[in-house]
């Protein structure tokens, strides 16, 4: 990677350097050599044009694909040697040329070639040796020549000593990039692992928060799963006769219960619910900021589960699965209630959850069991109220618990529950309500985004 970076940097520098050098040599002849009437002018013309030609040839080379070859520095070395060699020759032609210019050229050329410190010293020494006969011929004292050559080499060595620092900085930068890449990979891997163990809705919220707020996965998980008090709709459904049927692991559990539980859980997630499976129990809560959305999604999940259960029972060769589906709406605390120092427990706690647990016990009593059928949806008063407000024509049966001589344990103030039959008419009306809430939600979101954009 370092070599590739150096190659690219070297090629870019050479393109600029040799193009500018060629133009300067031509300009120097036109605007300096000719006006100064340097003689013989043909010799100066040849000198300037050879140097300019070398520059343009080098520029052409570094502008071509050949510049990526193994011997990419040879044209630059050759062109720079011509610059330095001819500059030393000029000292013998015209006394007005400072002999120190030859060493300045050597220093500049070594910076362009960008070799390692050792190779730079060797190359610079070789060029200085080829210059020396002309400098001695022009009358430069040998001691001055040696002193200047030594000083030039020291300056070049100091300037190129940054080469090692550049490598170290590059290595540290690569280590930093590798560490950042590793962190990103770990975040992705961790997100994938989390996604496999948490409900789809929670996973989508995590991804959205990471994308929008630049949170890490851990920070997003803490924020998304932070316990909150909300009005939610809860769904509760267990399998009747499960304990007795579970003795048959191969047929009842493997062939019937597991596929049915997975299908029911997928149904809940399809309607943006957060499911939790405990044994044969499917519990789910819906925690949108809109109570109407929560109720319609929860009831649609329930009726879809009921219809799904009927279809599965019609195709099963083993014992059928019998469920009631219970739904309640009210305030609860939802999120990760297990904390971070123990196992994560994404669930809901509060009156609607407790009510459903007690109502499930009540459905096992004969007085209520005779009034309901497998696949029915049982609702609390708050859930019924929201549904009726959306569609007053919905047929929701009132069941008076007082007349039946029963009550919901710990909820003695509840005088009635409500029964929603799973039939085509009910399904169509609930689907219409659901579709209208989806459209409204999308419209509200678009309006909000428009206000934010404004």
Q: How far apart are CA 144 and CA 318, in angstroms?
A: 107
Q: What are phi and psi of 346, to 5 degrees?
A: -90, 105
> How far lies 166's CA from each of 5, 114, 169, in Å?
11, 12, 5
Check residue 450 and give its pLDDT: 29
What are the start-end ranges of the H helices in 198-252? 200-213, 217-224, 242-245
Q: How far apart are CA 207 and CA 209, in angstroms?
A: 6
Complete domains list, the chain, with CATH? 2-160 (no CATH), 228-453 (3.30.70.1230)
Q: 406, 453 in Cβ contact below 8 A?
A: no
Output the CA angle 103-104-106, nearest 5 degrees: 60
Check residue 454 and give its pLDDT: 30
Q: 422, 303 in Cβ contact below 8 A?
A: yes
Give me 412's structure tokens: 């003695």
Residue 239: strand pairing partners = 323
| Cα–Cα nearest to 205, from 274, 268, 265 | 274
| Cα–Cα nearest to 205, from 187, 183, 221, 229 | 221
What are the start-end ranges of the H helices in 363-418? 366-369, 381-390, 401-404
Q: 84, 77 in Cβ contact below 8 A?
A: no
End-to-end CA distance of the chain: 46
Check residue 419 and give its pLDDT: 95
| Mean pLDDT, the chain cut into blocks of 10 residues (454 residues total) | 81 93 93 87 90 94 87 91 91 83 92 88 93 90 92 89 74 83 75 70 84 78 87 91 61 72 90 87 92 95 90 70 90 82 77 94 90 91 95 93 92 93 90 83 43 31
């Amino acid at each position: 990677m370092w070599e590739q970076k150096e190659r690219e940097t070297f090629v870019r520098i050479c393109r600029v350097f040799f193009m500018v050098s060629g133009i300067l040599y031509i300009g120097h002849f036109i605007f300096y050599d000719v006006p100064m009437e340097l003689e013989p002018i043909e010799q100066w013309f040849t000198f300037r044009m050879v140097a300019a030609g070398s520059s343009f040839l080098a520029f052409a080379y570094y502008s071509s694909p050949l510049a990526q070859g193994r011997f990419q520095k040879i044209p630059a070395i050759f062109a720079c040697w011509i610059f330095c060699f001819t500059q030393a020759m000029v000292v013998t032609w015209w006394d007005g040329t400072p002999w120190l210019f030859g060493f300045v050229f050597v220093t500049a050329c070594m910076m362009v070639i960008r070799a390692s410190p050792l190779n730079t010293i060797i190359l610079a020494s070789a060029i200085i040796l080829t210059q020396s006969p002309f400098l001695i011929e022009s009358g430069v004292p040998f001691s001055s020549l040696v002193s200047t050559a030594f000083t030039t080499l020291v300056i070049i060595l100091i300037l190129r000593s940054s080469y090692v620092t550049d490598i170290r900085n590059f290595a540290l930068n690569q280590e930093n990039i590798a560490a950042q890449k590793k962190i990103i990979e770990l975040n992705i891997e961790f997100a994938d692992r989390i996604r496999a163990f948490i409900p789809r809705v929670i996973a989508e919220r995590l991804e959205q928060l990471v994308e929008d707020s630049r949170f890490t996965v851990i920070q997003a998980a803490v924020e998304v799963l932070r316990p909150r008090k909300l009005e939610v709709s809860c769904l509760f459904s267990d399998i009747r006769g499960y304990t007795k049927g579970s003795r048959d692991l191969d047929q009842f559990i493997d062939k019937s219960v597991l596929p049915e539980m997975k299908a029911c859980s997928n149904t809940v997630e399809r309607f943006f619910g957060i499911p939790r499976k405990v044994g044969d129990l499917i519990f789910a809560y819906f925690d949108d900021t809109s109570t109407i959305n929560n109720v319609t999604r929860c009831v649609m999940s329930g009726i879809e589960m009921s219809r799904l259960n009927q279809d599965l029972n019609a195709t099963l060769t083993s014992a059928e699965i019998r469920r009631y589906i219970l739904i309640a709406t009210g305030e609860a605390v939802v999120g990760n209630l297990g904390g971070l120092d123990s196992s994560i427990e994404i669930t809901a706690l509060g009156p609607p959850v407790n009510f459903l647990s007690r109502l499930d016990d009540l459905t096992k009593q004969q007085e209520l069991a005779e009034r309901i059928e497998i696949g029915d949806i049982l609702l609390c008063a708050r859930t019924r109220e929201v549904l009726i407000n959306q569609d007053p024509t919905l047929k929701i049966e009132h069941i008076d618990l007082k007349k039946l001589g029963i009550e919901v344990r710990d909820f003695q103030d509840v005088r009635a529950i409500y029964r929603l039959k799973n039939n085509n008419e009910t399904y169509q009306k609930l689907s219409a309500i659901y579709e209208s809430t989806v459209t409204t939600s999308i419209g509200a979101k678009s309006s909000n985004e428009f206000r934010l954009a404004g």
